[in-house]
């Protein structure tokens, strides 16, 4: 198991590290991307060699982060650092040369599997970016407008533009500080939350066309085949934007988004209302996450995977009913 570090101890490790490779999780979202970019810029400001690697392409919408991406001819990693990655399975196959020797991890997922040598974990943080907003100044590095943009991206996307239940007073204070330090909120918010490509609109149309309800309407499920995803032209990063769709429906307590990956397995995203444990549902299927937002990956066809997920949703509803009877 990993050794848990305090922020000051992580700072010491980073100051002593050289040739640092920062690993994102596959299907990169705003938090793993923004957090890795921000820390990479900070480490380079210290004069260190540092670069970012992700098994999947970073969405082009994040090009403003100016992310220094890793190529093998740059350096041989002396320190491998995972950013916002809860388990080793989330790195992806292309990261395998380094994912099995992760030295350090910075994360906010309570379900973190403890795969790294040492871990800075704060599961009270709304995003890993929230942790780094406090950590980077401890390195003696000023948060520049570019770093502020990166951190704001992670913070805002992991909170659904500050609408999700993980948003706290600390989150708002951090966002305000990043704005004061130069985060271009007026430009970033439309890019991150309003603009949609035609491909994303098409995949949303397909998803809603196949929407199904279960358990008297308390659970809504959307499924997308790999053929549908390919025909829409949507990018992996854009697909993250549909995970909240089924939970937005009135009366739905559990929203499930299932999408078939190119190799045939199924990526499952679970979104729930307060009081319904999304992480418990995902954990029993080999995944993890947060109380109201979690996920996992299952082998097999969509129908079998859907039944496995629905079985776990039913168990969670039964647990809730039993708890209410005891009150």
Q: What is 38-69 written as a DSSP string?
A: HHHHHHHHTT--EEEE-SSPPPGGGGGG---B
Q: How large is the average pLDDT for residues 55-59? A: 91
Q: Is the pLDDT of residue 110 over 70?
A: yes
Q: How confident is the model at residue 59 (pLDDT cuts 50, 70, 90)?
A: confident
Q: How confident is the model at residue 325 (pLDDT cuts 50, 70, 90)?
A: confident
Q: Which residues contact 226 (CB under 8 A, 6 or more apart)?
A: 260, 261, 262, 264
Q: Which part of the chain has CATH 3.90.1640.10? A: 3-193
What is residue 298's predicted lDDT score, i.e. its pLDDT? 92
Q: Is the pLDDT of residue 291 over 90?
A: no
Q: Write the class of the CATH domain 3-193.
A: alpha beta
Q: Is the pLDDT of residue 262 over 90?
A: no
- Among the listed residues 136, 134, 192, 196, the one whose alpha carbon sits nearest the alpha carbon of residue 162: 192
If you average pLDDT over every residue of the chain, what do you get? 94
| Residue 26 to residue 85: CA distance in whole angstroms | 9
Phi-psi category of residue 251: left, alpha or beta, with phi > 0 → left and psi -120 to 50 → alpha: left
What is residue 327's predicted lDDT score, i.e. its pLDDT? 67
Q: Is the pLDDT of residue 234 over 90?
A: no
Other Cβ atoms within 10 Å of 204 Cβ, number: 18
Q: How confident is the model at residue 235 (pLDDT cuts 50, 70, 90)?
A: confident
Q: How confident is the model at residue 257 (pLDDT cuts 50, 70, 90)?
A: very high
Structure tokens that stand for 101 in this block: 């020797």
| Residue 327 to residue 319: CA distance in whole angstroms | 13
Q: How large is the average pLDDT for residues 72-98? A: 94
What is residue 236's predicted lDDT score, i.e. its pLDDT? 73
Q: Which part of the chain has CATH 3.10.310.30? A: 198-326
Q: Is the pLDDT of residue 152 over 70?
A: yes
Q: Is the pLDDT of residue 121 over 90?
A: yes
Provide CATH code, domain 198-326.
3.10.310.30
- Among the listed residues 16, 33, 15, the one whose alpha carbon sits nearest the alpha carbon of residue 24: 33
């Amino acid at each position: 198991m990993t050794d848990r570090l305090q922020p000051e101890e992580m700072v010491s490790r980073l100051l002593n590290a050289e040739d640092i490779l920062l690993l994102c999780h596959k299907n990169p979202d705003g938090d793993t991307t923004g957090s890795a970019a921000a820390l990479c810029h900070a480490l380079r400001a210290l004069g260190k060699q540092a670069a970012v690697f992700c098994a999947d392409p970073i969405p082009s919408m994040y090009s403003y982060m100016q992310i220094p991406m890793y190529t093998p001819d740059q350096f041989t990693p002396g320190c491998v650092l995972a950013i916002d990655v809860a388990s080793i399975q989330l790195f992806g196959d292309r990261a395998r040369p380094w994912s099995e020797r992760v030295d350090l991890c910075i994360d906010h997922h309570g379900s973190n599997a403890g795969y790294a040598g040492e871990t800075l974990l704060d599961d009270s943080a709304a995003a890993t970016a929230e942790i780094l907003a406090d950590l980077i100044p401890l390195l003696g590095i000023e948060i520049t407008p570019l770093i502020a943009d990166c951190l704001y991206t992670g913070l805002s996307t992991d909170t659904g533009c500050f609408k999700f239940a993980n948003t706290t007073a600390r989150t708002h204070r951090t966002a305000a500080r990043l704005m004061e330090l130069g985060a271009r909120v007026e430009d970033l918010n439309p890019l991150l939350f309003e603009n949609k490509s035609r491909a994303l609109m098409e995949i949303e149309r397909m998803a809603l066309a196949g929407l199904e309800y279960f358990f008297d309407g308390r659970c809504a499920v959307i499924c997308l085949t790999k053929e549908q995803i390919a025909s829409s032209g949507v990018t992996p990063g854009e697909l993250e934007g549909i995970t909240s769709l089924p939970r937005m429906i009135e009366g739905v307590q559990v929203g499930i988004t299932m999408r078939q990956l190119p190799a045939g397995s199924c990526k499952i995203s679970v979104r729930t209302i307060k009081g319904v444990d999304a992480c418990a549902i995902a954990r029993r299927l080999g995944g993890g996450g947060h109380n109201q937002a979690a996920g996992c990956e299952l082998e097999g066809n969509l129908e079998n995977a859907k039944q496995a997920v629905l079985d776990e949703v039913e168990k969670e509803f039964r647990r809730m009913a039993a708890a209410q009877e005891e009150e």
